[in-house]
Amino acid sequence: MSERIALVPGSFDPITLGHEDIVRRALALADHVIVAVAYAAQSQKQGMFTVDERVELIRQVFAEEPRIEAASFQGLLVDFAKARGATVVVKGVRSVADFEYEMQMAMMNRRLLPSLDTVVLSPAPEQAFVSASLVRQIATLGGDVAPFVSPPVLTQIREKAGGATRLPGAWT
């Protein structure tokens, strides 16, 4: 029987513990899991981390798991899935808003490539409120993001946000 390959696509700027939980659970659904950072050529440098940095962090986070691969792709998810022989896309869904967004993409991807299925997984309850955008915001404003990301990610965030200081607040 041929190897079942799953894709976990996203921006991963940066990968959070919520993403990690979804990726590890995807291992139960496939033999090989590709965590794929999606990017547009002209926006390589946007966000907190470059695409290469995001891929490297994903590699470090899953270093002990040979069935998980870190990659990046440009263009359509369905084209990358075809090129890599992936038959399933796995996404985490934290809320009704996430669900609507994911369902629309799942249906569009299904229309573009009928052999590609999307599976949505619920988050670990303790990570259900975590998002990469909130992690970036908290880190940039000098808050502690240690509970939300793995140690290699935390180290890199601290380097990036090293110059950040807490904004003077009205409540101090």
Binding site for ligand PNS (CB under 6 A): 9-11, 38, 76-77, 105, 108-109
- Nearer to ligand PNS by Cβ, of 94 and 142: the residue is 94
Distance CA 101, CA 162 (A): 34
Look at residue 72 and give its three-state secondary structure: strand
Q: Tell me the closest approach of the beta carbon of residue 91 to ligand PNS, in angstroms.
A: 7
CB of 156 to ligand PNS, least distance (A): 18
Residue number with CB closer to ligand PNS (38 or 120): 38
Residue type (1 letter), 6 = A
Burial of 20 from C-beta contacts in 10 A (0-12 / 13-18 / 19+) = buried
Question: Nearer Cβ to ligand PNS, position 32 or 54?
Answer: 54
d(CA 86, CA 78): 9
Closest to ligand PNS by CB, 112 vs 170, is 112
H or E element in which residue 144 lies? none
43 vs 165, beta carbon nearer ligand PNS: 43
Q: Shortest approach of ligand PNS to residue 161 CB, angstroms?
A: 20
CB of 49 to ligand PNS, least distance (A): 13
Lookup result for tokens 């970036």? 136
Peptide bond into 14 cis (omega under 30): yes
In angstroms, give the least distance from the CB of 168 to ligand PNS.
Answer: 33
DSSP β-ladder status, 32-39 and 88-92:
unpaired
